[in-house]
Amino acid sequence: MNAVIFSLLLVPLFGSFFIFIIPKNRVELFRPVSILFTLISLTQAVYLLFDSKLTGNFKTYASFEWISLYGLDLNFGLSGMSILLLVLSALLVTVSILSVSDSHSQSKGFIGSILTLHFAINGVFISGDLVSLFIFFEAILIPMYFLMGIWGGENRRYATIKFIIYTVFGSIFIFIGTIYTGLLSYSVNGRLALDYNTLSQLSFSSSQSKVLFALFTIGFLIKVPLFPLHTWLPDAHVEAPTAGSILLAGVLLKVGAYGILRVSIPFFTEGFIQFRFLIACLSVVGIIYGAIVAIAQIDIKKLIAYSSVSHMGFVMLGISAGAYLSIEGAIIQMVNHGITSGALFMLVGFIYDRRHTRKISDFGGLKLRMPLYAGIFLFTSFASIGLPGLNGFVGEFKILMGSFEAFKVLSIISAFGVVLAAIYMLWAYQRMFTGTIVNEENNTLLDLNYREIISVMPLLILMLLIGIFPGKLENLVSEESEYLSELIFYFVGGK
């Protein structure tokens, strides 16, 4: 088991090292070699997915001594949710490398940064204690900094600095929270034991629980991002290169929600009870606000970015409702949003590579020239809206159903978010694809090539499969959602 866990970290790391030593003139090798490595980690993650012993609650499988003076260990383990997210991230990394244009894939730094990002993301999902979680949470910033900084758009400097400062500001809270938790654990265990097993046995007083929940959750919510902490997201998405956007929307936003589910709620449940109505309200504001702002966008990438704010609002609503169904729905929605928004950003990237513009008004009538592209875009839009039979429906339906009991009014309001999603996605589709070609430049556009079709196809298949057979996904996360919802129920009942 040790070997499996560490290879999840080492494969991407070796991959980036391998890319580093390939001779500079063999640029055509970068893409296949890196995809080889990401396929290895994808296979590993999928293999773990089918091992029913691993897909329950979080279990620690490996640990090693880090600072013996304080008795601080680094722990690594797995759970159903983390394996699911490992699969998602490996898949998205693979398709994003496949989908980027040659100018990016032939750059050592670009591919190396993506593999390093893969390493850090895997680290977050397998970390079994607060310190290693924090280390990898922060380490994500380094490759993102270079991805956005070097290969970003016009205004990338502003967006990158904003992204970094927001995240660092949030992670300072997590840092302080980690230290506070560690010292509380020290007073009980006689060492800085921060692994999840030890923490779940610690009992915090009501005020400690509140403070710690607030500290951790602010840090994670910036990453989610919850309204009003979301302002870095549109800038970051617009300026990031396509692969960066795919991974940012697909995986990095999930890191925040993952942290809340993994750390904030199980260990500081009492604090969660105190704050959950506030979080739910902000989520609903985010759902509606994100959707309305998305309607008004003239830049298609910014539109999808704001739709992310809206969709991640659903995730946070489901989490804060705390019912079994809603938590399960939230985790499924995390995966679904990763797939659909990843696909949407990829599709936008394809058209951007051809036209070097993202303005909706520059397009129109694209269906005539790129019928396949238009079809795929429509399909993905439907998935994003939450059409029954596609993946988006499963998560949002569960969330709305699960949270109705806890927050009746809020879930009714947030149901309008689905309607608004239909408006912004379909209106954008109408403006971009239907009608006649107004802009002369669009006349020469070519439809998707094989590479592009192959890179988007896995995501489309998954959208359909999850929509029709959501059962497997539910099995994976049911144990964890049950544990969390029972914990929350216990604390609510205790009041």
Partner 1 sequence: MISISEIIGFNFIVISPTVVLVLTALILLFFTITIPSSDVLKKLITFLGILLTNFFIFLKFGLYLTDGVSSYFSEKILLDEFSLFGNVLIGLILLFTFNSFWKTSASLEGKTTEAIILILMSASGFLLMIDSENFIMLFIGLEIGSISLYALAGLNRGDKLSNEASLKYFLLGSLASCVLIYGVALLYVSLSISGVYETSIAINFIGAQNVPLTTLIGMIFIIVGLLFKVAAAPFQAWAPDVYQGSPTGFVGYMATTAKAASFIVLARISAISIRFILDKFELFFTIVVLLSALLGALFATNQTDLKRLIAYSGVIQSGFILSGMVSGVFGISASLFYLFSYIVQLLGIFSIFSIIKGQLTSNFEIGELSGLFLNNKFLTISFSIFMFGLAGMPLTSGFVSKFILITNLWSYEKYLLVVVLMLSTVVGFYFYLRPIWIASIEKNENPLSKIDISTSDKVSVGLLAVVTLLLGILPNVLINLTRWVVENYI
Interface ranges with partner 1 (CB under 8 A): 65-70, 131, 134-136, 138-139, 141-142, 145-146, 149-150, 157, 160-161, 164-165, 168-169, 172, 175-176, 179-180, 182-183, 186, 192
CB of 386 to partner 1, least distance (A): 37
Closer CB to partner 1, 69 or 446, in the complex: 69
Q: Which residues of 437-462 are buried (b: 16+ CB within 10 A; e: fewer)?
A: beeeebeebeebeeebeebbebbbeb
Q: For residues 164 and 425, which CB has a smaller minimum distance to partner 1 in the complex?
A: 164
Pairing relationship of beta strands 59-67 and 72-78 according to DSSP bridges: antiparallel
Nearer to partner 1, 186 or 491 (CB): 186
Q: Is the dihedral of CA 5, 7, 12, 17 positive or negative?
A: positive
Shortest CB 169 distance to partner 1, Å: 5
CB closer to partner 1 out of 175 and 397: 175
Q: Which is nearer to partner 1, 179 or 387 (CB)?
A: 179
Instruction: Decide whether 95 or 141 has the Cβ nearer to partner 1.
Output: 141
- Shortest Å, Cβ 158 to partner 1: 12
Asked, as a colleague might, if the bond just before 228 is cis with ω within 30 of 0, I would say: yes
Q: How far is the CB of 207 from partner 1 (least distance, A)?
A: 15
Sign of the Cα torsion 150, 151, 153, 156 reads negative
Tell the smallest beta-carbon distance from residue 407 to partner 1 (Å).
34
Distances (CA, A) of 163 to 117, 151, 153, 235, 357: 15, 15, 14, 8, 23
Number of residues that make up the chain = 495
- DSSP tag of 54: T
Nearest residue (CB) to partner 1, 81 versus 131 = 131
Do 258 and 124 form a contact (C-beta atoms < 8 A)? Answer: yes
195 DSSP β-pair partners? 129
| Min dist. Cβ of residue 215 to partner 1 (A) | 11
Report yes or no: 236 and 159 within 8 Å, Cβ to Cβ.
Answer: yes
Q: Which residue, 170 or 286, is less far from partner 1 as judged by CB?
A: 170
Spatial separation of the C-alpha atoms in residues 384 and 380, rounded to whole Å: 6
What tokens appear for 284 in the block? 């609903």
Task: Name the DSSP letter for residue 370.
Answer: -
Q: Which residues of 134-145 are buried (b: 16+ CB within 10 A; e: fewer)?
A: bbbbbbbbebbe
Could you tell me the smallest distance in angstroms from the CB atom of residue 149 to partner 1? 4
Q: Is-cis flag, bond preceding 470, omega within 30? A: no
Residue 278 Cβ vs partner 1, minimum distance, rounded to whole Å: 23
